Amino acid sequence: MRYLHIENARLIDPSQNLDEVCDIYVAGGRIATIGHKPASGEIEQSINAQGQWLVPGFIDLGAHLADPGYPQKGTIASETRAACAGGFTHVCALPDSKPVADSSAVIQQVLEKAAQAGYASVLPLGAVTQGLAGEQLANMYGLREAGCVALSNARQPFKDSYVLRRVMEYAATYDIPLFLQAEDVSLSDGGCMHEGPVATRMGLSGIPATAESIALAQIILLAEQTGARIHISQVSCARSLQMLSQARQKGLNISADTPLANLVYTDAAVTGYNSQFNVRPPLRSDADRQALLAAVNNGELAISSNHRPHEIAAKKAPFADAEAGMSMFDFFVPLALQLVSSNELSLAALIRAVSNQPAQLLGLEQALKEGSWFNAVLLDPTASRLADESSMHSKGTNSPLIGSRLEGAVSAVFADGRRVF
pLDDT tens-digit readout, 223-270: 999 999 999 999 999 999 999 999 999 999 999 999 999 999 999 999
Contact 303, 296 (CB under 8 A): yes
* Stretch 76-82: mean pLDDT: 98
pLDDT at 214 over 90: yes
Average pLDDT over residues 348-367: 97
Spell out the domains of the chain, with CATH numbers in brackets. 2-54+371-419 (2.30.40.10), 58-362 (3.20.20.140)
Give the mean pLDDT of the chain.
Answer: 97
Taking the model in full, what pTM does it have?
A: 0.96
Lowest-confidence segment of 33-42, 52-61, 211-220, 239-248 by average pLDDT? 33-42
Q: Are 120 and 90 in contact (CB under 8 A)?
A: yes
- The pLDDT of 147-174, averaged and rounded, is 97
Three-state secondary structure call for residue 276: helix
Is beta strand 418-419 parallel, antiparallel or unpaired with respect to 405-415?
Answer: antiparallel
**Distance, CA of 300 to CA of 308 (rounded, Å):** 24
Instruction: Identify which of 334, 418, 420, 324 has the alpha carbon closest to the alpha carbon of residue 381.
Output: 334
**Nearest 5°: CA angle at 80, between 75 and 81?**
100
Query: Is the pLDDT at 1 greater than 90, yes or no?
Result: no
> Alpha-carbon distance 149 to 372, whole Å?
21
Q: Omega before 318 cis (within 30°)? A: no
